[in-house]
Amino acid sequence: MDDTVAVALFRHGLTEANKSHAYLGWTDSSLCPEHRDRLAAASQGYRMIFTSDLGRCKKTSAILFPDRSIESCPEWREMHFGEWEGRTFQELKDNIAYQKWLEDPFSGAPPGGESFSAFTARVDKAWQNLTDKLLREDTSDSAVITHGGVIRYLLGKYAPEKKEFWEWQIQFGRGYELRWTREKFRRGERCISLQEAPLTGNHDG
């Protein structure tokens, strides 16, 4: 039995809404053609592949892991921004509710959207499902294609170095690989190493 477990967390490719800096949670947006064309298959064949069920992640998954069986799941979605979906800071900056949320985004929730605690509980559920599957099937590595907020939260919880949520920078179409001893992974502890996830091709931009 392999003594280590690796989980790679990839962010989806750049979308049209991302280019305009709009809030993009559960609303979908197509991948930008110029960025999509720079994505290439991952250089490592992770044995289990999970993805958010939103189109931008599923399309990125198909590029990174062509001809692979991929399990999509709504629990891997980005935070739901409710009435602010698709809107930018410039459009919302005079909104009182938005101003209050910006002051403490970890307590309140966007109108019709999701609180940070609800978001993290959902992601924790997805992570537990991944953990159970890897351990049950004695699998040593997996990849998840998901969203920036999901990856920031998981890195804050499991990376060797503690950082605040917003300190983590995750480029579109790229990600991090976390590695544990099998026992540390089973116990839900911080990983023992963190590195950029291996990819082929040019992902700059």
pLDDT tens readout for residues 114-156: 999 999 999 999 999 999 999 999 999 999 999 999 999 999 9
CA distance 56 to 12: 6
**pLDDT tens digits, residue range 22-49?**
999 999 999 999 888 888 887 777 999 9
CA distance 20 to 188: 37
**pLDDT tens digits, residue range 149-202?**
999 999 999 999 999 999 999 999 999 999 999 999 999 999 999 999 876 544
Q: At what angle do helices 116-136 and 148-158 cross, to 10 degrees?
A: 70
At position 96, the amino acid (one-letter code) is I
Strand order in the sheet with 4-11: 70-73, 48-52, 141-146, 4-11, 175-181, 193-196
Q: Specify the fold of 4-196.
A: Rossmann fold (3.40.50)
pLDDT band at 96 (very low <50, low <70, confident <90, very high): very high
Sign, CA torsion 129/131/135/139: positive
> Which residues are 50's β-sheet partners?
71, 144
3-state secondary structure (DSSP) of residue 183: helix
> Which residues are 5's β-sheet partners?
180
CA distance 173 to 146: 10
